[in-house]
Amino acid sequence: MATKILRTVVALLCRGGHYCKGSKGSRPLAGAIESIAPTSLSFPTVRIDIITLFPEICRAPLSESIMKRAQESGVIVLRIHNLRDWTTDKHHVVDDAPFGGGQGMVMKPEPIFAAIESLRRADSITVLMTPQGKRFDQTLADEMSKKKHLIVLCGHYEGIDHRVVEHLADTEVSIGDYVLTNGAIAAVVFVDAVVRLIPGVLGHDRSAVDDSFRSGLLEAPQYTRPAEFRGWKVPEVLLSGNHAQIAAWRKEQALRRTRQNRPDLLK
Ligand code: ADE
């Protein structure tokens, strides 16, 4: 009961009271998704702040379906911030030319330090999304899902002033060996993969326990009705009701799929 009251108070405070100091003084953050008073109270709220130059890229994918319910139930509080809200000049400049010459622009340190220093708490982990980061995988998602406050900073342009990496970020994360136009897309992938592992986010029927990668193998194929479609039949064993045989078939199929698509996982 006490947790319930506390959670409701926290949600109400977060809903109406999140301000930052920008060039026009204190004002509500343009990029904040409003939270809805929580109803599910058996888990402590995890807070996630995304800092990006493109809040709209993050907003839609992170406010639908499971992500939406996670926020409505109060399991997570997600805020999406525009980095320009922490600039202090008239033109809200966030980038500058690289020292030493070279192509493109580099993100300036001042607004980034101001943003993170205003959001961070004693238990915060600051994650910088960058193609230069350590490769994101299910193990890292699992580790991040146990944190109480994540600040996700999205890179853009040719890069970010390295003092951010050295003195502010706790870790640098890349979602794969390819370069995206900006880190906001990577942040959406990161946050989605982490949030679904937070206790209370997936329902009983949507357990994360059987996920691909947890067992070290890819998932076995799944089928649903109709049992025959365009002449293609669902494997007989799945209709048999014999759970031991179904489990053995799934194991064998998982191995076969892994060998075919991800042989690196078997090494
Ligand atoms: N920004 C651009 N490409 C990225 C990647 N692969 N991972 C994380 N952030 C990025």
Q: What is the pLDDT of residue 2?
A: 55
Ligand 1 centroid to 136 CA: how many Å?
10
Q: Is 37's pLDDT higher than 80?
A: no
Q: What are the catalytic residues?
A: 131, 158, 196, 211
Q: What is the pLDDT of residue 12?
A: 47
Q: What is the pLDDT of residue 20?
A: 35
Q: In the chain, where are the structural domains located?
A: 2-204, 210-266
How many C-beta atoms surround the C-beta of residue 176 within 10 A?
Answer: 12
Among 177, 157, 155, 179, smallest CA distance to 168 is for 155
Ligand 1 centroid to 151 CA: how many Å?
16
Among 219, 134, 125, 127, smallest CA distance to 176 is for 134
Within 13 Å, how many C-alpha atoms sit on residue 147's CB side? 23
88/93 Cα distance (integer angstroms):
8
Which residue, judged by its Cα, is nearest atom 7 of ligand 1? 174
197/194 Cα distance (integer angstroms):
6
Q: What is the pLDDT of residue 259?
A: 98
130 CA: nearest ligand 1 atom:
9
Instruction: Tell me what the pLDDT averaged over the chain comes to.
Output: 87
Secondary structure in 3-state letters for 135-181: ECCHHHHHHHCCCCEEEEEECCCCEECHHHHHHCCCEEEECCCCCCC
Q: What is the pLDDT of residue 18?
A: 34
Ligand 1 centroid to 135 CA: how many Å?
10
Mean pLDDT of 128-139: 97
Mean pLDDT of 100-117: 97
Residue labelled with tokens 């343009």: 30
177 CA: nearest ligand 1 atom:
6
How many C-beta atoms surround the C-beta of residue 1 within 10 A?
Answer: 6
Q: What is the pLDDT of residue 17?
A: 31
Q: Is 41's pLDDT higher than 50?
A: yes
CATH for 210-266, among 3.30.530.20, 3.40.50.2000, 3.40.50.850, 1.10.1270.20? 1.10.1270.20
CATH architecture of the domain with residue range 2-204: 3-Layer(aba) Sandwich (3.40)
Question: Tokens at residue 129, please?
Answer: 């999304």
Poorest-pLDDT segment among 56-60, 150-154, 165-169, 199-203: 199-203
Pairwise pLDDT comparison (208 vs 109), residue with the higher score = 109
C-beta of 191 in contact with ligand 1 (< 6 A): no
pLDDT tens for each residue of 176-219: 999 999 999 999 999 999 999 999 999 764 567 657 777 899 99
Mutate to test the pocket of ligand 1, among 137, 144, 179, 190 (most ligand atoms within 8 A of CB): 179
Pairwise pLDDT comparison (17 vs 54), residue with the higher score = 54
Ligand 1 centroid to 103 CA: how many Å?
18
Q: State the DSSP code for 74.
A: T
Among 160, 141, 92, 83, smallest CA distance to 116 is for 83
Q: What is the pLDDT of residue 34?
A: 37
Give, in order, the Cα–Cα distances in Å from 128 to each of 69, 72, 80, 226: 26, 27, 15, 46
C-beta of 186 in contact with ligand 1 (< 6 A): yes
183 CA: nearest ligand 1 atom:
1
Q: Are 200 and 66 in contact (CB under 8 A)?
A: no
Which residue, judged by its Cα, is nearest atom 9 of ligand 1? 130
C-beta of 44 in contact with ligand 1 (< 6 A): no
pLDDT tens for each residue of 251-267: 999 999 999 999 999 99
C-beta of 131 in contact with ligand 1 (< 6 A): yes
Q: Is 171's pLDDT higher than 90?
A: yes
